[in-house]
A and B are shown apart, each in its own frame.
Chain A
Amino acid sequence: MPDGAPLRTAAAAAPLAVEGLTVRYDGRPALSGVTWRAAPGLTAILGPNGAGKSTLLKAALGLVPAEGEARFFGQPLEAVRARVAYLPQRASVDWSFPASALDVVAMARLPRARWFGALPRREREAARAALAAVGLADLAERQIGRLSGGQQQRVFLARALAQEAELFLMDEPLAAVDAVTEETILAVLHGLVREGKSVLMVHHDLSLVQAHFDHVLILAGRLVAAGPVAEAFTDSAIAAAFGGLPGRGRGA
């Protein structure tokens, strides 16, 4: 994208486009002037700890104060909220909360129901279907604190799926999960992309990037590189972002 092109008139509106996105925590910049258009498909957001990966997602969603602009499908978030799903970091909530897996997933259906009283049965059924899609149909009634870490992560994925969105912003869904969960999540992600949906995913494991992702956005407090994996996921970009640490190889 040529710098400064007006985001709103872009031909096919990008699922997410940010311009000059800057976030400060206590005055210290966590993210400086990021201008980027996400491409459709599966994008990995990479970078070392503190690179501003989660911050980028939160700023785009208006969850942290930010300067700059974020547009979803060419529009402000308020206009297209129903088309955008969010999967926060698993550690951001208290899993001893008195709720079943189904209760948590059903929260995704709240905007579709009236704001008071009980959730209609069809919405609970939609939540149940989302749980089944991540292989947790049998654990729908279990208290979330009694699920394994990987199962909890899949509950969060099911909740994002139940939002039935077109763009999914995911904050490290593959962090510290078991093999079954990783396999399930990757299969779900590829299924979403086949349906024409887009996923922007904060991600740590560089070894998975080439096999599974279409695009990368590499951050280190600012934009280091972005584009198709073949072009942007280069040794020099990784070295620039991760400070040239040896042993962070791209793998196969």
Chain B
Amino acid sequence: MIGHNTLVVLLGCAALGLAAGVVGSFALLRGRALLADAIGHAALPGVVAASLLVAALGGEARALGPLLLGAAVTGWLGLLALRRLTASGRIPPDAGIAVVLSAFYALGTVGLSVAQTLPGAAQAGLTHFILGQAATMTEADALLAGALALGCAGVVALLFQPLRALCFDEGFARAQGLPVRALDLALLGLMLAVCVAGLPAVGLILVVALLVVPAAAARLLAARLPAMLALAGLFGALAGAAGALASTRLPDLPTGAAVVLAGLAIFGAAALAGRRRGRGA
């Protein structure tokens, strides 16, 4: 038996997985997939700060909206910091990402421990943002995450043509006068939105996998981008729903881990199928 609340959470996580697969496909093809890891870790101080702020103002400290807003703000700050770090060219992007994600995560961890010394329930449940806990999501939480995720998928559908041109050949896209900076900014915004929407269910440590694993699996199978997006969305939705279901059945299981393991099972199958296809051709 699946209760109403469980069903809503399941659908919310499936929508999240779908959007992550679609957005993650472009992130992968643009060579920006690891930015999702920086965003996820950079979100923690934002979540903690937002919860403290809301509690100080006498609000409901566990309301999801302000927490996600805080996550988006520091996630974006993390991206800005990364850009500053790597601007000179002397610090390569991978090292920059390592610096940013560890710095923000450390900051968030310190914030968490400070919050736990304070009276009241401000910090309760915040640790769920680290590894994800879909089972604690309310119906409203799931609807918020799902709506955000579907909005992202809609934006990708609108920007499909110019994003594809940019991912394939940046030089040509720029020579044609496509708004490359704006497109890259839109892609970053989409990644930020999906990462933030995915925090409550998947957690900040593994949210990168939700963007990368379904997209990588689809990349192994698809010969054209529309097929890759469809497959990545499907794989992501399956992984999201499977993870959420596991989390409601086994409440001690971190949802993020369950989602990622489901995604990796799909990836394994795709790798096998892709190898067979490659050999047959």
State which of B161, B225, B281 has its C-beta within 8 Å of the C-beta of A110: B161
Contacts of B222 in A (CB 8 A): 98
B177 near A81 with CB under 8 A, answer yes
**Secondary structure class of chain B's binding surface, majority of residues:** helix
Give the contacts of B171-223 with A (CB-CB under 8 A): 171-178, 219, 222-223
**B residues in contact with A94, CB < 8 Å:** 168
A61–B175 touching, CB < 8 Å: yes
Q: Among B159, B177, B219, which residue has the most Cβ atoms of chain A within 10 A?
A: B177
Interface assignment of A58: CB less than 8 Å from any CB of chain B: yes
Asked if B1 is at the interface of the complex by the 8 Å CB criterion, the answer is no
A138-156 contacts to B, CB under 8 A, are 143, 146
* List of A residues within 8 angstroms of B162 by Cβ: 110, 115
Q: Is B223 a contact of A98 with CB atoms below 8 Å?
A: yes
Judged by a CB distance under 8 angstroms, whether B165 is at the interface is yes
Chain A neighbourhood of B172, CB < 8 A: 86, 88, 107, 159
In the complex, the chain A residue whose C-beta lies closest to that of B167 is A97
Contact check, B158 vs A97: say whether CB atoms are below 8 A apart: no
Instruction: Name B158's contact: one of A100, A108, A117 (CB within 8 Å).
Output: A117
Size class of A's contact patch? 20 to 34
Chain B interface size, as a band, is 20 to 34
Contact B168 A107 (CB under 8 A): yes
Given known contacts A111-B176, A111-B177, A143 and B161 CB-to-CB distance under 8 angstroms: no
Of chain A, the residue at the smallest CB distance from B218 is A98
Q: Which residues of A contact B80 (CB under 8 A)?
A: none
Q: Residue of B at shortest CB range from A107?
A: B165
Q: How far is the CA of A81 from the CA of B178 in the complex (A)?
A: 11
Which residues of A from 109 to 129 have beta carbons under 8 Å from B? 110-111, 113, 115-119
The number of inter-chain residue pairs (CB within 8 angstroms) is 81
Chain B neighbourhood of A97, CB < 8 A: 29, 167-168
Q: Which of B168, B177, B228 contacts A78 (CB 8 A)?
A: B177
| Contact residue among B161, B169, B177, B225 (Cβ-Cβ distance under 8 Å from A88) | B169
Residues in A neighbouring B32, C-beta threshold 8 A? none
Given A110-B162, A110-B178, A58 and B224 contact (CB-CB distance below 8 Å): no
CA distance A110 to B89 in the complex (A): 32
Q: What separation, in Å, do the CA atoms of A26 and B88 have in the docked complex?
A: 10
Write out the residue numbers on chain B whose beta carbons fall within 8 Å of the beta carbon of A93.
168-169
Separation of A216 and B118 alpha carbons in the complex (Å): 76
Residues of chain B within 8 A of A84, CB atoms compared: 175
Residues of B within 8 A of A9 (CB): none
Interface residues of A (CB under 8 A from B): 26, 58, 61-63, 78, 81, 84, 86, 88, 92-94, 97-100, 103-104, 107-108, 110-111, 113, 115-119, 143, 146, 159, 163
Taking A86-B176, A110-B176, A159-B172 as known contacts, 13 extra A-B pairs with beta carbons closer than 8 A to each other, sorted by chain A number, are A63-B175, A81-B176, A81-B177, A88-B172, A98-B222, A98-B223, A98-B224, A98-B227, A99-B164, A99-B168, A99-B224, A107-B176, A118-B161
Interface pairs (6), CB distance under 8 Å:
A100-B223, A107-B168, A107-B172, A107-B176, A110-B176, A115-B162
Q: Which 5 A-B pairs have the closest CB atoms?
A: A86-B175, A143-B223, A116-B158, A107-B165, A81-B177
